[in-house]
Amino acid sequence: MRIYCDVCMDETEHEQIKKDTFRCRSCGSVVKVNPERDVEIKAIISTGELSEVGRVKVKEGEDLRVGDELIFEDGEYRVGEIRALELKDGRRVKVARAGDVRVVWLRNVSEVFVKFSLHKGAVTTPYKMVSSGETEFEVGERINIDNCLFRITRIKTFDGRVLKRGKAKAKEIKRIYAKFERKL
């Protein structure tokens, strides 16, 4: 069995000497490994109003909790934040052991819809932009939307704050308010 050896600083051939104990065949040092099983759990990820079904891979004994981030897979990989955990008996909980979970509900934080309110004179136009969840938007920043230049005036975040200065990541933003400056 090939295991990473701390002494050899490489993956080396190991012989098993106990259930969870292995000896490196190169240097003779002994390592304990926890052969915890990986489980695949059905996952539903939402991006705005769009939901997709895939799965997450986690350790069976791992604790999952609302707010944690997991890698969602459905051929591609995305980062999702846990919104709810559905147990095998149908209950929805905030914390659970991975092995007890039937469905993980995720919010896509790798790609998010950023909502804007664009102000031009007395007219407000809603607008949506797909962005990486990590992209930062800053009050005062100028952005190009449909060949018009808008300046961000306020940023409203999911935790209820309204920023009049500073910046926030796309995944934290509920709505951006921007004012028309000029045509490009």
Which positions lie near Zn ion, rule CB under 5 A? 5, 7-8, 24, 26-27
Q: How far apart are CA 126 and CA 29, in angstroms?
A: 63
CB of 33 to Zn ion, least distance (A): 14
One-character DSSP codes across 96-137: EEGGGEEEEEEEE-SEEEEEEEEEETTEEEEEEEEEETT-EE
CB of 15 to Zn ion, least distance (A): 12
CB of 18 to Zn ion, least distance (A): 17
Helix (H, G, I), strand (E, B) or coil at 171: helix
For Zn ion, the closer CB: 11 or 74? 11
The single-letter DSSP state of residue 183 is: E
For Zn ion, the closer CB: 29 or 132? 29
94, 65 contact by CB (below 8 A): yes
For Zn ion, the closer CB: 26 or 124? 26
Q: How far apart are CA 183 and CA 178, in angstroms?
A: 14
For Zn ion, the closer CB: 4 or 158? 4
CB of 11 to Zn ion, least distance (A): 10
